[in-house]
Chains A and B, each alone.
Chain A
């Protein structure tokens, strides 16, 4: 039976989705829909923009204004949408390759402008759609179809990148922490500025298989057991943090929002008349 959430926020006719069995993306997509539902936004006021890749297929299933763009370009399209209609709640759904490799420049500059867009990265550490090539977030030493001897690239910490570039809300959660994803997306949508939520996903089909991570359940258990909330991390001894990664809200600040600043310029000419 379809839940009320799915009935109300998804395009039932477009389901089931194309993601592989065990993929974490569906959980993250659902968490975004729950966040929007709980905030009570009118569906016509929401615009979901994506690039290319597994994650970027999500908007096709979601019953909002949706825009499936080119590889890496989602944030640039979203910037145009937001500038043209600042009343829209603009959400970008992207992946690690989409936003950190080909779209890295757009991520840096959308963060810098603090334009009111909520970006959710479905980070599965691999290029899934093209069959498992290493991405900017594939951990050093791990394998991909283009890193058969182990990845010698250093991997990105996307949250540090977004924070450094000027995002005013930065958080990380995982597909295991569905409720945390929802809470973070809600906080991101309520932040008047550029918000960045990294949702670590799992790709049992490519990343998992190439790197002998076990089945989807094992990979989920890894997400559960290898994460430490940033609030708890300070109190823990260093050895307890070894091999773990942090989740939670990393950064929040209030800065002038781009479309509001532009509106001030427009308004200054209205007054002159």
Chain B
């Protein structure tokens, strides 16, 4: 591996590099701190690889445009933060029900509302899952380093294409702006997944048709061999709207199942010193860095601590969190909000262990000392 691929870059830059490596050809967005660099760098890089960038009139339009771009066949991404993520929700639901692959980066900042624009937060965990109305599947990934931002952006595109679903990359202001040395992998080291196109020459292409064990329908682009209809209404396999409750039920069941049944493929996580741990920290994103230090500090003092770090936030890693809960006497969830991911951890872990939280939502990182203090307290 050539050493000249070693670079000093910030998380937002690594996100764009990962997106380009994954095959992003269209970016539509709107400036907002602290995600703006993703738009800026996309505008600089995309035309050089034959891709397109457009700055839309608002956040809603940015999300709408990438759905349009994806339906016309291009791998598409938008990026946002804070109130911008709230504005994405309407179209995020559309992408979920119409099964349009796309990637939404949310560089989390302090909220609610305009909140703390230049400070990190992890307050959008529940919004990533429940922000748009109605039951729907979602995949959300959270990186803890610059290199991982690259890797998870590639994964985000791959999951989006493989499962025909919107994928949210949940970073935060610290991960987005922090600079680290990273080695960019060469193209042959990166797995790229493209949406499955329907066979050529079909008598009729039904955009939402699946065979018996298939959960993700084949996807043709607008302007290709087939003409088809796409709607945000409940639709049958032909893509046309239906009020039939059986059609509604089977559509919702299938789009939920395509994620739930593939959770082992989507589950990304790291276990650190958990083998003999008596207390497990569960942390993700930038907080996981402090948590890792806290584990080492605790170990130095003879406390058997370990870290479970989910990179896949949604779907929730029920199986893994339950396993961790069974192994330890205490689980501490550290996150930069007033307690969001911990709600899910409590649901999975409460009957096996004691779950407590180490939370902060004042725009400051949670320090290793604070987590260590919590370890000693429980």
A contact residues vs B (CB 8 Å cutoff): 14, 43-45, 47, 49, 59-60, 63-70, 73, 76-85, 87-88, 105-106, 108-109, 262, 265-266, 269-270
Query: A233 CB to closest chain B CB, in angstroms?
Result: 33
Contact of A109 among B57, B72, B76, B230 (CB under 8 A): B57
Which of B159-167, B183-191, B220-228, B326-334 is the interface stretch?
B220-228
- Give bound CA distance, A85 to B76, whole Å: 13
B94–A44 touching, CB < 8 Å: no
Residues 99-118 of B, flagged 1 when their CB comes within 8 A of A and 0 if not, give 00000000000000000000
B229–A77 touching, CB < 8 Å: no
B91: interface (CB < 8 Å):
yes
Residues 67-85 of B, flagged 1 when their CB comes within 8 A of A and 0 if not, give 1111111101000000000
Chain B stretch 48-74: residues in CB contact (< 8 A) with chain A: 48, 50, 52, 54, 56-58, 60-62, 64-74
Contact of B67 among A77, A87, A88 (CB under 8 A): A77
By a CB distance below 8 angstroms, the chain A residues around B240 are: 14, 60
With A83-B65, A85-B73 as contacts: A65 and B54 at CB distance below 8 Å? no
> Main SS of chain B's interface residues?
mixed
With A70-B232, A269-B47 as contacts: A77 and B58 at CB distance below 8 Å? no
Other 12 A-B pairs with CB < 8 A, given A84-B52, A106-B57? A43-B227, A47-B222, A60-B240, A60-B241, A76-B64, A79-B54, A80-B69, A84-B72, A84-B73, A84-B76, A85-B223, A105-B58
Measured CB to CB, the nearest residue on chain A to B229 is A66
With A66-B230, A68-B232, A70-B94 as contacts: A76 and B223 at CB distance below 8 Å? no
Measured CB to CB, the nearest residue on chain A to B66 is A80
Query: B266 CB to closest chain A CB, in angstroms?
Result: 26
Contact of A73 among B61, B76, B221, B224 (CB under 8 A): B61
Contact of B26 among A67, A70, A84 (CB under 8 A): A84
Which 9 residue pairs across A and B have the least CB separation, nearest first?
A80-B68, A80-B65, A76-B64, A84-B72, A76-B61, A109-B57, A68-B231, A80-B69, A77-B68
With A77-B67, A79-B68, A80-B65 as contacts: A60 and B229 at CB distance below 8 Å? yes
Measured CB to CB, the nearest residue on chain A to B232 is A70
- Give bound CA distance, A182 to B221, whole Å: 28
- Give bound CA distance, A77 to B70, whole Å: 10
B373: interface (CB < 8 Å):
no
B56–A109 touching, CB < 8 Å: yes
B72–A80 touching, CB < 8 Å: yes
B223–A80 touching, CB < 8 Å: no
By a CB distance below 8 angstroms, the chain A residues around B56 are: 76, 79, 109
Measured CB to CB, the nearest residue on chain B to A59 is B229
B196: interface (CB < 8 Å):
no
A88–B64 touching, CB < 8 Å: no
- Give bound CA distance, A81 to B48, whole Å: 20
A84–B74 touching, CB < 8 Å: yes
Provide a sorted-by-A list of 21 A–B residue pairs whose CB atoms are within 8 angstroms.
Answer: A45-B223, A47-B223, A49-B68, A59-B229, A63-B227, A66-B228, A66-B229, A67-B222, A67-B229, A76-B62, A78-B68, A80-B64, A80-B70, A81-B69, A81-B72, A83-B68, A84-B52, A84-B74, A88-B72, A88-B222, A106-B61
Chain B stretch 236-260: residues in CB contact (< 8 A) with chain A: 240-241
B294: interface (CB < 8 Å):
no
B222–A109 touching, CB < 8 Å: no
**Most A CB atoms within 10 A — which of B52, B58, B66, B94?**
B52
By a CB distance below 8 angstroms, the chain A residues around B52 are: 83-84, 262, 266
B28: interface (CB < 8 Å):
yes
Measured CB to CB, the nearest residue on chain B to A80 is B68
B233: interface (CB < 8 Å):
yes
- Give bound CA distance, A70 to B233, whole Å: 9
A76–B72 touching, CB < 8 Å: no
Query: B74 CB to closest chain A CB, in angstroms?
Result: 4
- Give bound CA distance, A83 to B74, whole Å: 10
Query: B325 CB to closest chain A CB, in angstroms?
Result: 41
By a CB distance below 8 angstroms, the chain B residues around A60 are: 229, 231, 240-241
B90: interface (CB < 8 Å):
yes
Chain B stretch 170-206: residues in CB contact (< 8 A) with chain A: none
- Give bound CA distance, A270 to B223, whole Å: 24
A64–B68 touching, CB < 8 Å: no
Query: B236 CB to closest chain A CB, in angstroms?
Result: 12
- Give bound CA distance, A270 to B73, whole Å: 22
By a CB distance below 8 angstroms, the chain A residues around B221 are: 85
Query: B330 CB to closest chain A CB, in angstroms?
Result: 46
A68–B230 touching, CB < 8 Å: yes
Contact of B91 among A43, A70, A105, A109 (CB under 8 A): A70
- Give bound CA distance, A68 to B207, whole Å: 14
By a CB distance below 8 angstroms, the chain A residues around B68 are: 49, 67, 76-84
Query: A219 CB to closest chain B CB, in angstroms?
Result: 28
B223–A87 touching, CB < 8 Å: yes
B229–A109 touching, CB < 8 Å: no
**Most B CB atoms within 10 A — which of A68, A82, A105?**
A68
